[in-house]
A = this chain, B = another copy of it.
Amino acid sequence: MPEHSPTAAHRKLRYAMVGGGRDAFIGGVHRKAAALDGQIELVAGALSSTPDKARASGRDLFLSDARNHGSWQELLADELKRPPEERIDFVSIVTPNHLHFPVAKAFVDAGFHVVCDKPLVHTSAQAQELVAAVHQQGTVFGVTYNYTGYPMVRQMREMVRSGVLGVVRKVVVEYHQGWLATHLEASGNKQAQWRMDPAQSGMAGAMGDIGSHAENLLTSVTGLEVEAICADLSAMGAGRTLDDDCNVLLRLRGGAKGVLMASQICIGCENGLRLRVFGTEGSLDWQQENPNQLLHAPLGVLPRILTRGTPGLSPAAQQATRLPSGHPEGFIEAFANVYLGVASDIRARLEGRQATPLQADYPRVEDGARGVRMIEKVVESAHASHKWTPL
């Protein structure tokens, strides 16, 4: 992946971050991902909903006082006052889920490009409102379904969509974690607290937090619409109102069947996201904890091991690759590929070009909206006594 040589807008892109202050987890990942390739710089922020904490967090990151704000509203107002040559190119929203909607809506309405964490918002109504706003503004809106940023996931997507597997017959996507096996939210763990609080997390627990990644991975790779689901949600942990274990039967357009499992009570599982796709001509198997490999079993011949960085991979995989094979790339690099896609799209606009699909390879606001709908329908199905709930 060559470092870029843009002919116009010959500068790093500038961004602000909302959320991600001290004690947060995912904000720091976004910052590392954005910084990795030397294309993007952090220039402003409103890093916490607590003003003092926000400003202390911004100082940690060497933000200038003038652009280190106590609230996202101040940040937005300040940016709107600045001349274009200073203004941020986009904002990155990494707050708990319940703030995604108001912050994203305000920045989109003000004409800013946005990167937003997942799940996008709490309800399909919000999601549709946001999709409409983005369409109206014509702005860039990326959702950090980061797992689809892995080169071998993109390779898998290109192979499935180009028919290497023939007709897809079965998909199994599982996302097993164990960190909520105990009552962690009672012991002061901030990450556990907001995830198990419906007010902050939304109508679903594990399904929203990681099941939505599983849905996005499945849908992105196969390109197949989920037509109907049959879900069983459980709250295994004492006192929980949100699910920590989800098992879902799937029916996909075109006749494929499938299973989606997402759980956070599976002791021994760290971040066990795996996708298997079986077609009439072969299968593919990818596991997030070993992300540089993809196992391809074609019908009737020996299974082969594809590794990131080897010749012959698709342009989409090659573009997402920084190192030769055998030199492991990981989670941050995949995350950075989402930022690179967004940056390519924004930079093209700055240069008056339209980015190619290969360049602008990142999950959109519509992907986020589809994910919200999936969460809603899984919850609906879990309460239904009939077997199949259509999407």
Q: Which residues of A contact B (CB under 8 A)?
A: 3-5, 10-12, 25, 28-29, 31-32, 35-38, 42, 59-62, 169-170, 172, 174, 177-179, 181-182, 230, 232, 234, 236, 245, 247, 249, 251, 257-259, 261, 263, 265-272, 276, 278-283, 285, 288-292, 295-299, 302-307, 309-310, 312, 322-333, 384-388
Contact = CB atoms under 8 A, between A and B. Distances in A.
A270 B325 contact: yes
Given A179-B324, A267-B297, A323-B331, 14 more contacts: A3-B28, A10-B62, A169-B236, A169-B265, A178-B283, A181-B278, A266-B276, A270-B326, A290-B290, A302-B304, A303-B305, A304-B305, A322-B332, A323-B330
Contacts of A288: 326, 328
A387 B385 CA distance: 6
Contact of A333 (B28, B269, B332, B384): B332
A331 to B, nearest CB: 4
Nearest to A302: B304
A234 B249 CA distance: 12
Nearest to A265: B169
Contacts of A230: 230, 232, 249, 387
Contacts of A331: 323, 327-329
Contacts of A267: 278-279, 281-283, 297-299
A258 B268 contact: no
Nearest to A166: B267
Contacts of A328: 288-291, 328, 330-331
